[in-house]
Amino acid sequence: MRRDLRTMAFVLCASALAALQARADERSELEALRAEVREERAALAQERAALAEQRQRVDEALERLEARAAPPAAPTPPVGQAAKSSGATLDVYGFIQADGIYDFNRVDPDWSATLRPSKIPVECPGSPTCGNDGETTLSVRQTRFGVRGWVPTSMGDLTTRFEFDLFGVGADAGQTTFRLRHAYGQLGDFLAGQTWSLFMDPDVFPNTIDYWGPPGMVFLRNPQIRWTPVHQEDLSFALAVEMPGAAVDQGKADLSQFGDGFTSWNHYPDVTAQLRWNEDWGHVQFATLFRWVGYQMRSLDGDGPDGYQLGAAANLSGVFNVFGGDRILWQVAGGQGFANYMNDGGVDLAPNESLTRALAVSGLGWLLYYDRQWNERWTSSIGFSEHRQWNTGGQTDDAFRLGRYASANVLFHPTSEMFVGPELIWGDRHDKDSHSADDLRMQVSFHYDFGGTIRSSR
């Protein structure tokens, strides 16, 4: 009996041990399966990350290719991105922009909707442009409307552009009124009308919301006749004759004996040339300007003092694409008699110290800005610029000598068609006699884009 009990106990123990061993084997297999699943999940996550990165690189490459296919500052000006059809195509585009500005100091009241260093009054009190510190301005003058057209012909597409905003200048300074920006036509290699000067690189205009922008930037939309013999994808070259125009400073010269009518003399057209190199990393552009800067007494029909000087300048500029969506914007322009092409400040022609002849005034303008793309909703721009002139001995003490400008903003884009945000802007002006004044302001802008395309059925 005892032997049977021992046998039974042994069998039970063996069975229990076998069951425990089987459970341990099952647990080991389960852990191995779990480890294998974890490894497969990790590998799948890596593959997904690699696919996402590859997709992002492809999207960025496509964006760069699209940008290179129609660069906004190429020698042949931009005429839109809409696809051409077998019939005529018309693009309607523009934006509404409302600016709220608080000026901590002061500027010329006619220019309260933007900060131009040349419009900062220096001698206060005593100047009609002076006023009390602290001023609020609400403006819609940046609002813009334009149309672009394509008409297929036997010689290729005929492209046209007409665009205006509401920022009054000249006799309309301070007014919300029509101001022509672009009006030109182009067929093949030839363009005629008003658009960006070849001496300018509009791509270096930073992502600011102030209307006028950096004073050290070459900025002029000019009537012209342009020829673009080279317009490859990565290289372009263009020549143009452009509308002349000069800012002439009478300075200390006493011309009262000749009566009224002292003005510039536009004897010959300006000649400009531009060479541009485009790549995935950005672009570099070199432009030159040659002009005859003249003066006359218009009321005397050639019997009074007159003459002209040769003006010449060079402009080297570019944009570097960095960190995916960011851009470094830069420009250096220098020469003599070219202030008319600068964004703000200075004159082209002024008398010498003995007041016996006129001189083309030398100058230098530069800017350096960084446009930051934080993500699809947030952008920023920060930078500095200045325009400097070397005054002649015949200019008065209050002649413009130096204008400086700095700005920084943070903009929120709830959709691709709208942004809103603040910008802090500072500028100062220095005169020939070293007297100076500055201005600081805060601007908040609301910007709304609109647009559409109309195609004919032909």
pLDDT digits (tens, 9 = 90+) for 348-387: 999 999 888 889 999 999 999 999 999 999 999 999 999 9
Among candidate residues 445, 444, 438, 443, the one with its CA nearest the CA of residue 107: 438
Range list of β-strands (E), 374-399: 378-390
> What is the band of 91 on the pLDDT scale with cuts at 50, 70, 90?
very high
CA proximity to 197, closest of 77, 291, 331: 77
Percent of the chain topping pLDDT 90? 67
pLDDT in tens, 123-140: 887 788 888 899 999 999
Per-residue tokens: 431: 């005169």
**Residue that is written with structure tokens 């001995």 in the block:** 393
Across residues 156-160, what is the average pLDDT? 93
* Cβ pair 351, 394 in contact under 8 A: yes
Could you give the 3-state DSSP secondary structure of residue 214?
A: coil
pLDDT confidence of residue 78 = 44
CA atoms within 13 A on the CB side of 258: 18
Report residue 369: phi and psi, to 5°: -135, 155
Q: 392 vs 8, 361, 432, 444, CA distance in Å?
A: 122, 7, 9, 40
Q: Which helix (H) or strand (E) holds 457?
A: none
Residue 21's pLDDT is what? 62
Beta carbons of 225 and 184 less than 8 angstroms apart: no
Cα dihedral value 422, 97, 143, 177, nearest 10: -80
* Over residues 264-268, mean pLDDT: 89
Confidence of residue 12 (pLDDT cuts 50, 70, 90): low
- Give the span between the Cα atoms of 72 and 82, in whole angstroms: 14
- Over residues 302-330, the mean pLDDT reads 91
Pairing of strands 362-373, 156-167: unpaired
Rounded to 5°, the CA angle 260-266-270 comes to 155
**CA pseudo-torsion sign 13, 14, 15, 19:** positive
Alpha helices in 323-416 (DSSP H): none
In angstroms, what CA-CA distances link 454 with 90, 91, 416?
Answer: 5, 6, 21
Q: Side chain identity at 249, as an amino acid letter? A: D
Cα–Cα distance between 175 and 113 in angstroms, integer?
10
Cα(236)–Cα(134) distance, integer angstroms: 48
Alpha carbon of residue 362 to chain centroid: 25
Q: Which of 128, 437, 389, 109 is nearest to 249 (CA)?
A: 389
Q: For a pLDDT cut of 70, what percent of the chain falls above it?
A: 81
Count the alpha carbons within 13 Å of 454 in the hemisphere toward its beta carbon: 6
Q: What is the mean pLDDT of residues 235-256?
A: 91
pLDDT digits (tens, 9 = 90+) for 50-83: 666 666 665 665 555 454 444 444 444 443 333 4
* Distance from C-alpha of 21 to C-alpha of 44, rounded to nearest angstrom: 34
DSSP string, 175-195: -EEEEEEEEEEEETTEEEEEE
Question: What sections of 409-455 are H helices per DSSP?
Answer: none
Tens digits of residue pLDDT in 396-447: 999 999 999 999 999 999 999 999 999 999 999 999 999 999 999 999 999 9
